[in-house]
Amino acid sequence: MRFNLSSTALSSRLLTLSRVINSKNSLPILDCFLFEVHDGQLTITASDSENVMRGTLNLESCEGEGDFVVNHHTILDAVKELPEQPLTLDVNLDEMNIYVTYQNGSYNFPILGADEYPKAQPISDNATTIIFQADKLSDSLIRSLFATAQDELRPVMNGVYFDLKDDGLAVVASDGHKLVKNKIFSIKNDVPASFVLPKKPASLLKNVLSKDGGDVVIRFDERSAEISFAEGNLACRLIEGKYPNYNSVIPQDNPHQLTIDRKSLIGALRRVLPFASDSSQLVRFHVSTGQLELNAEDIDFATSAKESVTCEYGGIPMSIGFKGSSMLDILNNLECDDIIIQLADPSRAGVIVPGVQPENEDILMLIMPMLLND
């Protein structure tokens, strides 16, 4: 079997798929890529037993068909340093080796049979289907992933929750201290359905989805999901369990609204946060008419900092404490120019929304307050 393809295309696809493979695997064959050559296409598969990701490449020319397995380090090391050029791969399935020929040289290394490579379990026939625009799904994952937890006792909090209802799809993540809810009104279903996507496949998807558009099809049942996109597909096991009622923690009426330039607030937070206590990272937000003052101090090292930022605010003067690093995470994962911080009192959560919401979407981020020692 012989086939030709671009070195850059192969290297790029292998690099993307290699993120699926764990550094330590229970099965040695999971250290490998599965190569399948059929109908003028090369399909490459990587797996860690719970996540199976495939990518497809069109071949420039092809003689013969077949499947084989190759160690992912070996093939990656062989092609990642090559400049853009055509590669010729000669595969001998009888002697179980492969020759990779490039412009000024060649590689020769062993391969394995494809029979033992694990296959993804098919999705049941009664699966629910969601069709996303690739850029909307990518944006939702980017906004949500930072808020997922690392909680062994509540594993459902460690993933991104997709809650499909008749009024839209909510993409939610929370670690108990901060929460992100991204509501997409254009995706809805008469029959409610939901699933929790683990952090690893969510991160893989975020990195592989292009911003050029196209559709992503998600089919899921109670245990697993299959996600198809322009350059391949990803099958993964879902996190089982009931996600907490996220709507119950979102305040329905935070009457005091503060409008401020997002980048100005990020800059001020970055300057005062190094002077906050390392353990608490507490930053005091004092709001008054037309001004927000940030205060941070570390009593143990006798350091402090404060900075004022102009804003639009007409409510009662108020001091409220937030964890500075969590607030920075929230601000960095919004893309708008202005943000609105909705407050009620120092003991209730602050709600942060973009000054202008994207079309057919409603983005909301929530941060729990910290106790101020007044």
Residue 213 pLDDT exceeds 70: no
Residue 372 pLDDT exceeds 70: yes
- 250-367 — its CATH code? 3.10.150.10
Mean pLDDT along residues 76-99: 92
Please give the C-alpha separations between residue 248 and each of 195, 244, 252, 296, 368, in angstroms, as whole numbers.
19, 9, 9, 31, 14
Percent with pLDDT over 90 in the chain: 81
- Whether the pTM exceeds 0.85: the reply is yes
Q: What's the pLDDT score for residue 88?
A: 94
To which residue do tokens 């202005």 refer?
338
Residue 40 — left, alpha, or beta (φ > 0 → left; ψ -120 to 50 → alpha)? Answer: left
Q: Nearest to residue 258, comparing CAs of 333, 338, 178, 330?
A: 338
Spell out the domain ranges in the chain: 2-110, 128-246, 250-367
- Residue 27 binned pLDDT confidence (cut-offs 50, 70, 90): confident
Do 128-246 and 250-367 agree at the fold level?
Answer: yes
The tens digit of pLDDT for each residue in 270-302 reads 999 999 999 999 999 999 999 999 999 998 889
Q: What's the pLDDT score for residue 230?
A: 85
Q: What's the pLDDT score for residue 202?
A: 95
Percent with pLDDT over 70 in the chain: 99
Q: Nearest to residue 29, comparing CAs of 13, 46, 43, 42?
A: 46
Question: What superfamily does domain 2-110 belong to in CATH?
Answer: DNA Polymerase III, subunit A, domain 2 (3.10.150.10)
* Strand segments (E) across 111-205: 128-133, 159-165, 168-174, 178-184, 193-198
Question: What superfamily does domain 128-246 belong to in CATH?
Answer: DNA Polymerase III, subunit A, domain 2 (3.10.150.10)
The tens digit of pLDDT for each residue in 114-149 reads 988 988 788 888 899 999 889 899 999 999 999 999
- State the average pLDDT for the chain: 92
